[in-house]
Structure 1
Amino acid sequence: MWVEEITLDNIKCFDKQYIRLGTTKECFPWITLLGENGTGKSTVLQALALLIAGPEGAKQLLTRPEGWLKTESIPGKISIKIHQSENDPAQFGARKERKQFSYTFYVTGNQKLTINNKVFTEPVIAEDTNNRILPWLRENALLPKGKGWFGAGYGAFRRLTRENRILVPALQTPLRYTNFFTQFREDRALEAFETWMVYLDYRISKSKDDKIAIRQKEWGIKAINSLLPEGNEFDSIDENGKIWFKVQGSKVSTVALSDGFRSILALAGDLIWRLIEAFPESDNPLHEVGIVLIDELDIHLHPTWQRTIAGWLRATFPKIQFIMATHSPLIVAGAGEDAITYRFFRKNNNIEVELIKNIHAWSVDKILQSEAFGLVSTFSPETQKNIDKYYSLKKKKKLNDVEKIELQATIPFVKEAYAELPSENSLDLKIEKFLSEKLK
């Protein structure tokens, strides 16, 4: 399963917003959402989660969608178009098999609203009962438990538990809506990786011929190792069920790992387990098609890791459609040539979304100083203020005595910023003049 488009009508900060996430024939494999806090990036990811979770799952994730309507007197709508992949089971249509499906969920508020002749008096998520496709999807694709049709989402507060693990029973097949728990519940730890790995290790210790457990453990270790920086790798599981990693030559347990390591382990480990559960008969579940939503991928990650994490995720899960939000130019630059970047910004008391093109080859400075980040200065506010003052005074043909003193006071800041004062015709001077005007 992959997503071609999503539309939000009267949802939170959006009047009406359409976002293309693929063509009619293929998905965009990596979509980055950029924008300041409060511009709707998380809302889009949550709306996608609700739609992919299915009607019953959406109601479990958001039992009372209070605050989801921009205007309380009319219903909100979230609509999606998804495509069926090769290994997603079931067939729609006897003569001509259908592969793309569109459906809508309605959102209500505290005022009385009527949808499809049904009256609602409190906040709920309601499916479009006039859509003949949705009943088929809920029975064949968007099942509470089922194979294929994979989607998962991860909020900004994803993390491993801080508790030591003792041997535990097998994990049960997850309910579909739990794939998106951390997008809506900040208190939910991602325990699947630790529980699953310990259980597999236990099975292997009891039966050396358990080929399924051996293969799944190998997949898990390989995937985790591929996402860790060089010099870091999975080490072992001890007799007490504690998982150990080699971190630059030292053995460290999961409970003692840094937040950056734990964030990636929590996300990747949980994703691997859920892919295996969704595609139990696959020769390699990590290479199956699906949708993964990630809010603030850069959180807790060192800049060197931010620079490479997108490439590692794409190499480890090559057929996953990643849709993620970030505040990091390093994540944007590392996503690849075919990645799509959208910028969310405020205009006339509304949120608008624009496509940013050809960003993959830019430097971090250029990305920050582009429309992608709203022409943000790469200098500190104090330094930028003095640079602006310097260029403003340099443009004047004649300075009075006070302005001459002010100009001299800015020179140390400009020299520190550029190592030396730029010449009158330098590119730095021209760029900073342009940015100084834009940033005012």
Structure 2
Amino acid sequence: MIVKRLKINSFRGIGNLTLEFNQKEPTILVGLNGAGKSSILDCLAVLLSHFVAEIHDPAGTGRFINEQDVTAEQKVARRFFRPEDINNGAEKTQNEIAIVIEEREINWFIALSKLKERPRGGNVRELEGICLRIKNQLRNNPVVNLPLTVYYHVNREFCDDIPQHTSQQYWSKQLEVYERALTGARISFNSFFEWFKELEDVENEFRLDDPDYRNPQLEAVRQAISSLLPGFSNLRVRRTPLRMTVKKHDKELIIDQLSEGEKGLLAMAGDLARRLAIANPGLAAPLQGCGIILIDEIELHLHPAWQREIIPALTRTFPNCQFIVTTHSPQVISQVQPESIYLLEPTVNGIIARHPEPYRNEDNAFFVEELLGISAHPQDVFVS
């Protein structure tokens, strides 16, 4: 499953904007603060939440509800645009997404008017049909693979203490891969820890009879972390006291001893690998699963050397996922082709999106001046 197209109309600071997404390469959104980068990801997350909720809804009603009706306890729910999302001077916002799934293109839109209390959805029949087919496949085939979609918001920092007592059968249901996937909530390391510990307990039980046995879902997580964090290996749970550790260049460290950048990347890699592993029980290599992954400020807390490698590492580790990310980092931009970049620019006619001209990857001045919109040379702005 991939996003093919997004049409935005009067959403926040964006008037009319159509984005065609590269179906084989990541898409990088670049622009000044306020240019609409995060708004585009938020818009995608709202629209994709209707796909997720339609699959997750056991009744399959496809009912559109007010966001106010969504309770705090609901972990998977349709999200809607809010009155404050409507562009100043406009009467309504209407935003449409086109995705390709099972070799078919389907699209739907969500609209909200200042004159009406309830949001309105359109073209939902095809969406309901494809989701009903997926649910029927789930009922008839216990190893069917699910398409994934996740939004890693800028507030995605590592959070939660390691629990001292874990619940049983944590995240045992396949559909729960969609829990909190598009809310932009912080990554819950508590959730990851409980899931990992439960499967590791089972793995250790099997290894009493077969020392070479490895749980394929845990192996997917281990491979993802080793791929995204070079020098890291042997993620495991220690029982007394209860804690998660990882080897960094052969030195065992407790997760809390890592830097913020290391913890954030480990948490995101672990969360994404876990979701892919649960979503794809029929794959021998779960990291080959497909998905739409939204990441705001992908360079967050990362050293410049890691910023340079993060896009190649993600596409290498998760080759069938479509990444749509925002960045302010020249290092991130330097590793992608111009056709994968959208420059968002405010104009008198509103925000526009364009691809940059071809450039040399080593031309840092070009990245800073042309793509990020700032002078490559410091100016004496504080000198009177």
1:192 CA displacement: 3.7
Change (3 A) 1:212 1:339: farther
- Structure-2 separation of matches of 1:360 and 1:198: 46
- Structure-1 separation of matches of 2:283 and 2:89: 46
8 A contact 1:30–1:339 mirrored in 2:
no
2:129 aligned partner: 136
1:314 aligned partner: 315
1:263-278 correspondence to structure 2 within 5 Å: 263-278=264-279
2:50 aligned partner: 54
- Structure-1 separation of matches of 2:160 and 2:238: 17
1:236-315 correspondence to structure 2 within 5 Å: 236-240=236-240, 241-315=242-316
Change (3 A) 1:358 1:132: same
Change (3 A) 1:164 1:176: closer
8 A contact 2:2–2:322 mirrored in 1:
yes
Q: Deviation digits for residues 194-247 of structure 1, max 9, x if unmatched? A: 222222211122333699961221121111111113x33335321144111223
8 A contact 1:3–1:21 mirrored in 2:
yes
Identical residues among aligned pairs (%) = 23
1:157 aligned partner: 155
2:27 to 26, 31, 52: 31
1:107 aligned partner: 112
- Structure-1 separation of matches of 2:343 and 2:200: 44
Point out the more displaced range, 338-347 or 150-159.
338-347
Runs of 4+ that moved beyond 4 A: 209-213
* RMSD (Å) for aligned C-alpha atoms: 2.9
Q: Deviation digits for residues 89-146 of structure 1, max 9, x if unmatched? A: xxxxxxxxx61112111123xx32xxxxxxx32xx54311x55323314434599x99
Change (3 A) 1:249 1:273: closer
1:420 aligned partner: none
Which AA in structure 2 matches 1:76?
T
- Structure-1 separation of matches of 2:308 and 2:331: 5
1:127 aligned partner: 121
Scaled by the length of structure 1, what TM-score is found? 0.72
Which AA in structure 2 matches 1:179?
A
1:64 CA displacement: 6.4
2:182 aligned partner: 180
2:56 aligned partner: none
Change (3 A) 1:339 1:151: farther
- Structure-2 separation of matches of 1:104 and 1:63: 11
Change (3 A) 1:61 1:156: farther
1:177 CA displacement: 5.5
1:363 CA displacement: 2.6
1:288 CA displacement: 2.0
Point out the more displaced range, 43-52 or 315-324.
43-52
Determine if the alignment matches structure 1 residue 78 to structure 2 residue 68.
no
- Structure-2 separation of matches of 1:33 and 1:141: 31
8 A contact 1:245–1:253 mirrored in 2:
yes
1:265 CA displacement: 1.1
Change (3 A) 1:363 1:246: farther
- Structure-1 separation of matches of 2:238 and 2:276: 26
Task: Look up the SS of the partner of 1:206 in the other structure.
Answer: helix
Structure 2 residues without counterparts, runs of 5 or longer: 54-63, 68-76, 139-143
Scaled by the length of structure 2, what TM-score is found? 0.82
Structure 1 residues without counterparts, runs of 5 or longer: 86-97, 113-119, 387-440
Which AA in structure 2 matches 1:54?
H
8 A contact 2:145–2:282 mirrored in 1:
no
1:358 aligned partner: 358
Number of residue pairs matched?
Answer: 350
Q: Deviation digits for residues 70-99 of structure 1, max 9, x if unmatched? A: 0465221111111114xxxxxxxxxxxx61
- Structure-2 separation of matches of 1:338 and 1:350: 22
1:3 CA displacement: 1.2
Task: Look up the SS of the partner of 1:207 in the other structure.
Answer: helix
1:162 CA displacement: 4.4
Change (3 A) 1:73 1:313: closer
8 A contact 1:192–1:269 mirrored in 2:
no
1:171 aligned partner: 170
Task: Look up the SS of the partner of 1:381 in the other structure.
Answer: coil
8 A contact 2:160–2:190 mirrored in 1:
no
Between structure 1 and structure 2, the one with the greater Rg is 1
- Structure-2 separation of matches of 1:131 and 1:194: 37
1:346 CA displacement: 1.2
- Structure-2 separation of matches of 1:177 and 1:12: 27
- Structure-1 separation of matches of 2:78 and 2:254: 32
